[in-house]
Amino acid sequence: GLWLLLGLSLTFALLIWWLLGRPRSPNSELARALQAREFVPFLQPLVATDDEGIMGAEVLMRWQHPDEGLIRPDLFIPQAEASGLIIPMTTLIMEEVAKELGMQRALVPHGFHISFNISAAHCRDMALLDECRRFLVHFAPGQIVLVLELTERELLVADPQTLSLFSQLDEMGVRLAIDDFGTGHASLLYLQQFHVDYLKIDQSFIRRIGTESLSEHIVDNVIDLGTRLGLSLVAEGVETVEQARYLKGKGVDYLQGYLFGRPIPVRQFRDELQQRAMA
Ligand code: C2E
Ligand code: CA
Ligand code: CA
Ligand code: CA
């Protein structure tokens, strides 16, 4: 009896030792980081093509890891999406942006666009409505145009839940953008069903401008398609003056890219708005 008890306790002790000692799974590491609020928002400016004035910003997530430093989203977003943790992570950065910009909301121009990248799973979660509402109450009515960016790579299913969520978002004035446009296969019907307002032309197309090759025509085709759909166009990944001039000539409405500004921490973005206001 005693031996059996001893054996059992030994096995149990070994099991505990093994559980504590093995490397943490990526999911529990993400969950730990979420608890510690290590996911932080960076903002990148969007400019109007005609006067190159800042009319908004896209929020891009970074992981401020205690040992590894700043981690790029493509290294952790796929895992976050697979585990569903992307939803509370997005909620966290929405709260951070609302808090930081709302703190000095007089600096934010009227009608300023702020966009968040939203994954497909989040679009089936009715809590998204409340999250958007809670974001907007930090600002004066009409001060912020809240935009949700949905990637064309991850097409949404037009199920009743998603459609109902989007029609309620539409009533709240929240706008939709199709991200990475040209890389997937969003149909006209799809764009109508979800009341899409903006198309963001993928940067892989922008890079082809000025290459004077067949691939330059592909850019024109993507722009023409967007124009014919009657939606506002945003070009992302604009790095050169030549690209900006070309896109302006094609009637693209908004530009985003290193030429105009890199993504920076939300507080630094707010400080730059302040400097601009004082200048
Ligand atoms: P995206 O939504 O297409 O974002 C644009 C990416 O291009 C960003 O990379 C941005 O930093 C980068 N970029 C902007 N201008 C230029 C430029 O002129 N040249 C070049 N070479 N790159 C430029 P980032 O921040 O590393 O994000 C990568 C992707 O990760 C995003 O692509 C988006 O799909 C995803 N992501 C980022 N934040 C979030 C988030 O909060 N939620 C979700 N679901 N996905 C996110
Ligand atoms: Ca985006
Ligand atoms: Ca994109
Ligand atoms: Ca709309």
The angle formed by the CA atoms of residues 167, 169 and 172, to the nearest 5 degrees, is 115
Closest atom, ligand 1, to C-alpha of 73: 30
Rounded Cα gap, residues 133 and 164, in angstroms: 16
- 246: its two tokens: 């070309």
Q: What is the pLDDT of residue 212?
A: 72
Q: What is the pLDDT of residue 183?
A: 84
Residues 6+ apart with CB under 8 A from 84: 121
For the beta carbon of residue 182, count every other beta carbon within 10 angstroms: 21
Question: Is the C-beta atom of 232 inside 6 A of ligand 1?
Answer: no
- Nearest residue by C-alpha to atom 23 in ligand 1: 237
In the chain, what is the straight-line distance between the N-terminal and C-terminal CA atoms, in Å? Answer: 84
Question: Is the C-beta atom of 86 inside 6 A of ligand 1?
Answer: yes
Rounded Cα gap, residues 103 and 115, in angstroms: 18
Question: Is the C-beta atom of 77 inside 6 A of ligand 1?
Answer: yes
Of all ligands present, the nearest one to the C-alpha of 43 is 1
- Nearest residue by C-alpha to atom 16 in ligand 1: 237
Pairing label, strands 175-181, 198-201: parallel
Helix spans in 22-85 (H): 26-35, 77-83
Of all ligands present, the nearest one to the C-alpha of 73 is 1
Query: Helix 127-136 crosses helix 160-171 at what angle (to 10 degrees)?
Result: 10
Question: Is the C-beta atom of 201 inside 6 A of ligand 1?
Answer: no
Closest atom, ligand 1, to C-alpha of 86: 44
Give, for all 279 residues of the chain, the pLDDT tens digit: 888 888 889 888 888 877 766 666 778 899 999 999 999 999 999 999 999 999 999 999 999 999 999 999 999 999 999 999 999 999 999 999 999 999 999 999 999 999 999 999 899 899 999 999 999 999 999 999 999 999 887 778 888 888 999 999 999 999 999 999 888 877 777 788 888 999 999 999 999 898 877 777 888 888 998 888 889 999 999 999 999 999 999 999 999 999 999 999 999 999 999 998 888
180 CA → ligand 3 middle, Å: 4
- Nearest residue by C-alpha to atom 37 in ligand 1: 60
Q: Ligand 1 pocket test: pick from 30, 74, 116, 117 the residue with the most ligand atoms within 8 Å of its Cβ.
A: 117
Q: Ligand 1 pocket test: pick from 44, 60, 115, 149 the residue with the most ligand atoms within 8 Å of its Cβ.
A: 60
Q: What is the pLDDT of residue 21?
A: 65
pTM of the model: 0.91
In three-state secondary structure terms, 49 is coil
